[in-house]
Amino acid sequence: MTRIVFAFLLLLTACGPRPDVTVMPEAAQVGRVVPVFYSTTRAQDPDGVFRGRRSAVPGYGKVAVSVPPEHRTGRLELNGRRPDPQKHFVTVSADQYPDRAAFRAALARALRDNPQAKREVALFVHGYNNTFGEGVYREAQLVHDFQIPSIVVHYAWPSAAHPLGYAYDSDSALFARDGLEMLIHDVNAAGAETVILMAHSMGTNLGMEVMRQMAIRKPGDVSRLIDAVFLISPDIDVDVFRSQVAPIRKLPSPFVIFSSDRDRALKLSSRINGNRNRLGNLASADLVADLPLTMIDVTQFGGNRDLGHFTLGSSPTLIMLVRNLPAVEQTFRLDRSGQSGLVPGTILTVQNATQIILSPAEAVLSR
C-alpha cells in the first residue's frame, strides 16, 4: 500500500497547472501548424472549455496546433500559465462545427484535397488523466515527431483529468463507446481510404470495447472500417482483452501492441485492479500467442518521463526507430533469426503472435 501511495504522489507532484487550449493566432507565424479534427463526448462548460463532464451528444470541431520551433523530439512542451509559442504548444485557431453532418463534410473536403492513394486518417484516442488540450497537443506532437502524413482526428472522451480520477475515467471510457463508434463510421463515410486507430492507456480499452460492439452489431464491420490498430501501453486486463477480441472475425492487420515491463503506471494499475497481467506490460506474448498480432517490446527505451507510460512518444531514440517502420518490417522479413542489420532487435514467433523486442543501438553495440 505504501508503494501505491508513493506512486500516486509521483503523479500528483507532476501535475501543476494543467494546460488546455490556449488560442494565440500569432503562433501561425512562429511554429509548424498541425490541423487536428476532433469529436468529443466531453460537455462544454459555459466558458467554452471541454472539461470532464459527460455529454450524450458529441461535439465536433477542428483545432490548428502550433508546434514550437524549439520543440525537442519526444517532448510535449506545455505551459498552463504563460505559454510562449517559441517554446510551447499552443492553438492557432479553434473552430466548432454545429453538428455531425458539418463535421463529416469538413473532413470530406480535407480528404478530397489529397490524392486518392493518400486519403488516410489517423484516429487517436487519449488515455487516463488527460485534459482536452493535452490530448490534442499530444496528437500534434506525434504527427510532428513521427512525420505522420495522414489527416488526424482526435477522440476526446470525458476524462476527469485528475490523478485520483481512475474510477471516473474508467466509467467515462465505457460511457464514450457509442461516440467513438459513430466517429469511425463518419471517418469512413467522409471518404477515408485507410483508417488507422491509435489508442493509449485507458483509451485502448475504449477502442477494444468499440470494436467488440461493432463486431456483435454487424460481423465483418471491424476489418471493413478499420485498416490498422496500434495499442500503446494498453491498460487492459489480458482476460478482458481476449473476450473483446473473441467476437471479431478478423482483426485489422497490422494489429500492434506496444508494451513495456518498465511501465510504472501500469504496475500501479495492476495493483489497483488486483491482477498483474495488464496487456501493456506483458513480458512475453505467451498469453496472446494464438492471436494474429504483433507485440513490440520497448522496455529498453523506458525512462522516468511519463512514468514510462508513453515511451513510444517520449523516447527520441525510439521515435527515430519506429519512424522507419517500413524498413523495420523489411529487415525482419529478411532476417527472421533476430539480430538485424538495420534495426537492433530480436524477433520471437509464438504460434500466431509475433513479439519484437527492440533495443537501442548503443545497447546492441555494447554487447
How much is the pLDDT for 339? 43
- With bands split at pLDDT 50, 70 and 90, how would you rate the model's confidence at 12? very low
Range with lowest mean pLDDT among 112-116, 233-237, 270-274:
270-274
How much is the pLDDT for 356? 85
Q: Is the pLDDT of residue 4 over 70?
A: no
Range with lowest mean pLDDT among 25-34, 56-65, 186-195, 277-286:
277-286
pTM of the full structure: 0.89
Instruction: Return the HEC string of the chain.
Output: CHHHHHHHHHHHHCCCCCCCCCECHHHHHCCEEEEEEEEEEEEECCCCCEEEEEEEEEEEEEEEEEECCCCCCCCCCCCCCCCCCCCCCEEEEEEEECCHHHHHHHHHHHHHCCCHHHCEEEEEECCCCCCHHHHHHHHHHHHHHCCCCCEEEEEECCCCCCCCCHHHHHHHHHHCHHHHHHHHHHHHHCCCCEEEEEEECHHHHHHHHHHHHHHHHCCCHHHHHCCEEEEECCCCEHHHHHHHHCCCCCCCCCEEEEECCCCHHHHHHHHHHCCCCEHHHCCCCHHHCCCCCEEEECHHHCCCHHHHCCHHHHCHHHHHHHCCHHHHHHHHHHCCCCCCCCCCEEEEEECCEEEEEECCHHHHHCC
- With bands split at pLDDT 50, 70 and 90, how would you rate the model's confidence at 3? low
- With bands split at pLDDT 50, 70 and 90, how would you rate the model's confidence at 325? low
Between 1 and 201, the higher pLDDT residue: 201
Other Cβ atoms within 10 Å of 329 Cβ, number: 14
Residues in CB range of 294: below 8 A, 6 or more apart: 254, 255, 256, 257, 353, 354, 355, 356
How much is the pLDDT for 308? 65
